[in-house]
Structure 1
């Protein structure tokens, strides 16, 4: 049995791996759409999170029936209020937090994920509570900045050797020969987008390499890094990444919300001899139910006991806690999260937020930087019918039409 496990190919070279990623992605996108439809003023956050988790469990139960593989929630449902940056999931036993509801006009972030056989697909979208068919003012600036920054980031992550390009053969060869963008260059280019809308990147937004049973592998890209923070590595063909984009109407600087309990955790590979029975019981339940994927203490059988047991688990390093982080000046923040595969044909969006209709956002601000517009014009992946996708937009219209390139996804066999 051990030999069989050791010989399993968990890379994208194994078609079964990509199939499982895509299955998890389909579920994550479906549940995200459902949860987004529940967003309205005065809706209770805990109730929405519970409903989202239940739907994730129901949908994952429908696939790979009879197979002895792990499947279920790859990231518990979280709903973060306006200025919150990190995923937020309050507890029923914290009376004040349990009463938290959504407010009309605030920007909320919905994040969740599914996993099939240890292959996760995580998504996050930002939604305006009570939003109409038309959004104007600073909220429009925020949503457009986040959308275009995310589109630019994906294009900057494509390895030059497989980057789909338009233009002459000579231009394509030149593009393929260029060096990959450094993490510093990526941040600088993204800041041109956010500054166009008078917004800022969220400090130390981190993009992680995904692996089997792991959403924080050895490589990471850090945008607008804080002091002493540094990323490691860039995307390569055959890898899966969790791509996050965070934009703030404030300075983008962050703070830990001291009066908010840390409720989101995940198991690490650290070994530690836990002494308290509540700690051992907690770790056992977590391992069985969630493996190494993010969970909320509200999902455990005895929430109050979990609040006690988690202390030693975090102190011993067997659980990692995700503190509640918000904009330093309590300004609204928007976030997007996609799960992508880097293939020989460019980038494939495995799981992504819904497509954005940029025409509904009304603002006088726009992207004018020619370098940015040219990059946004590029597809992120080759298709089987590239000849049908060569129509170019004029630079003056590019900022309003760049999302059309979202359809340029690779068709990995």
Structure 2
């Protein structure tokens, strides 16, 4: 696997950290592009998810062969359709109550495929929305309607945020409020809504937003993120700031005391747009979780031998990242899963959905802000053009959304897939 012009890292704890980010990004991007042709009517979501995980595992097997390097999946491949937002990755059972236990893609499905890879704890994630279409036919037009609006908004939001992060400048810092306003303005211009679960988050080694993992490095702000819905404390601060219109500089200073984007930081840009307002996502009432994560902060004296065996396997092979139950080695170990979940040692990632009439589009990239003086942005996961869609709306000229989404000629460095 070849990588375009390796970037020379500065004086950091691990001088190879950008190279490892590069390699993780190349793996997950290549795996995604191998999956892309499979999104056709009638395709099995289970088979697509299994192949996505298989592609990543096969590619990382030939890299960093020393046993001291952890590597592999950082997020099991998931394929979420229409109103489904996160974590649909069917289990290994082909039949449940004599009914096929997975969804098959249909024409017109707004389909989100998400996957992630890590090498030595340095993580690259990707998500892209695909519209399932029939074989091309003469005169076939683009996909239109609210789903197309959401797809366009998600595409331009991730692109605009990446361009804004690329403009790291001490005289005009990129802060949380600026990023939030940019995304919400794009949603408004496309007449859609930012869906819950969207985030723009600084990441670090082994730390990509898992709520169950303590920070491994001291002396650094544990959370630099913009999330939707906004945390209560952020809304309270915004209300306080809005009461003093005569002191706009005060708000800026408060933001700088909190956080702003700095060079050589890695960021996840993960934006979901919905065709209708969504106050909160809910767990699917029928689909059982298949993705779990080990909460390293919780310990308990387990009673069942199967539970202890399963926990040993998770500690040895699953690290701090989410894992799929199909990756566990023995069916017997699965018998201990219930006790681990009941004792909160393992936390489930349930399938999250909006109302059936809502269409959700999602785009996710992983980037590094100004990795050296000659580059504006290093994009670890390859931005993919949207499906053949057409929206009745567009970005409004003269706005920041238009400048960062359309009017800015950004210099973005990306990994090679050759």
TM-score category of the 2 structures, normalised to the smaller one: 0.7 to 0.9
Alpha-carbon displacement from aligned partner over 1:103-145 (angstroms, at most 9, x marks no partner): 2110111111222122221111111112658523123322211
Task: Give runs of aligned pairs for residues 112-151 of structure 1, distance below 5 A.
Answer: 112-130=115-133, 135-138=142-145, 139-151=147-159
C-alpha contact (below 8 Å) 1:192/1:369 kept by paired residues:
no
C-alpha contact (below 8 Å) 1:90/1:97 kept by paired residues:
no
| Corresponding residue number in structure 1 for 2:363 | 336
| Corresponding residue number in structure 1 for 2:293 | 266
Query: What are the ranges of 5 or more consecutive residues in structure 2 without an aligned counterpart?
Result: 1-8, 210-214, 216-221, 236-257
| Corresponding residue number in structure 2 for 1:47 | 47
Equivalent residue in structure 2 for 1:245, among 262, 268, 271: 271
Cα RMSD (Å) of the superposition?
Answer: 3.0
Q: 1:187 to 1:369 in 2, by over 3 A?
A: farther
Q: In 2, Cα distance between the equivalents of 1:53 and 1:105? A: 25
| Corresponding residue number in structure 2 for 1:56 | 56
Alpha-carbon shift at residue 410 of structure 1 (Å): 8.4
Query: What are the ranges of 5 or more consecutive residues in structure 1 without an aligned counterpart?
Result: 1-8, 162-175, 378-397
C-alpha contact (below 8 Å) 2:89/2:290 kept by paired residues:
yes
How many residues of Structure 1 are paired with residues of Structure 2 in the alignment? 361
Q: In 2, Cα distance between the equivalents of 1:310 and 1:67? A: 28
TM-score with structure 2 length normalisation? 0.77
Q: In 2, Cα distance between the equivalents of 1:98 and 1:304? A: 21
Q: 1:220 to 1:189 in 2, by over 3 A?
A: same
Give 3-state SS (helix, strand or coil) of 2:336's partner.
helix
Task: Give runs of aligned pairs for residues 234-383 of structure 1, distance below 5 A.
Answer: 234-253=260-279, 254-275=281-302, 276-303=304-331, 305-306=333-334, 308-343=335-370, 344-345=372-373, 346-354=376-384, 356=385, 360-373=388-401, 375-376=403-404
C-alpha contact (below 8 Å) 1:156/1:181 kept by paired residues:
no
Q: In 2, Cα distance between the equivalents of 1:111 and 1:263? A: 15
Equivalent residue in structure 2 for 1:177, among 167, 171, 181: 171
Report whether the alignment pairs 1:83 with 2:90. no
Task: Give runs of aligned pairs for residues 208-227 of structure 1, distance below 5 A.
Answer: 208-216=201-209, 218-225=222-229
C-alpha contact (below 8 Å) 1:265/1:321 kept by paired residues:
yes
Q: 1:92 to 1:188 in 2, by over 3 A?
A: same
Alpha-carbon shift at residue 357 of structure 1 (Å): 6.0
Report whether the alignment pairs 1:200 with 2:193. yes
- Which moved further from structure 2: 215-224 or 123-132? 215-224
Q: 1:134 to 1:304 in 2, by over 3 A?
A: farther
| Corresponding residue number in structure 1 for 2:5 | none
Give 3-state SS (helix, strand or coil) of 2:362's partner.
strand
Q: 1:374 to 1:81 in 2, by over 3 A?
A: closer
| Corresponding residue number in structure 1 for 2:108 | 105
Q: 1:227 to 1:115 in 2, by over 3 A?
A: closer
Q: In 1, Cα distance between the equivalents of 2:11 and 2:324? A: 29
C-alpha contact (below 8 Å) 2:201/2:269 kept by paired residues:
yes
| Corresponding residue number in structure 1 for 2:413 | 409
TM-score with structure 1 length normalisation? 0.78
Alpha-carbon displacement from aligned partner over 1:340-380 (angstroms, at most 9, x marks no partner): 112354431112342x168x433331111512255316xxx
Structure with higher RCO (Cα < 8 A, 6+ apart): 2
Q: In 2, Cα distance between the equivalents of 1:110 and 1:10? A: 34
Q: 1:114 to 1:125 in 2, by over 3 A?
A: same
Runs of 4+ in 1 over 6 A off after TM superposition: none
C-alpha contact (below 8 Å) 1:214/1:293 kept by paired residues:
no
Q: In 2, Cα distance between the equivalents of 1:12 and 1:252? A: 41
Select the structure that is richer in helix. 1
C-alpha contact (below 8 Å) 2:381/2:414 kept by paired residues:
no
Q: In 2, Cα distance between the equivalents of 1:126 and 1:243? A: 14
Q: 1:10 to 1:242 in 2, by over 3 A?
A: farther
Alpha-carbon shift at residue 181 of structure 1 (Å): 3.0
Q: In 1, Cα distance between the equivalents of 2:389 and 2:12? A: 38
- Which moved further from structure 2: 294-303 or 36-45? 294-303
C-alpha contact (below 8 Å) 2:175/2:261 kept by paired residues:
no
Alpha-carbon displacement from aligned partner over 1:285-307 (angstroms, at most 9, x marks no partner): 2222221112111221235752x
| Corresponding residue number in structure 1 for 2:16 | 16
C-alpha contact (below 8 Å) 2:173/2:261 kept by paired residues:
no
Report whether the alignment pairs 1:70 with 2:61. no
C-alpha contact (below 8 Å) 2:72/2:118 kept by paired residues:
yes
Q: 1:348 to 1:305 in 2, by over 3 A?
A: same
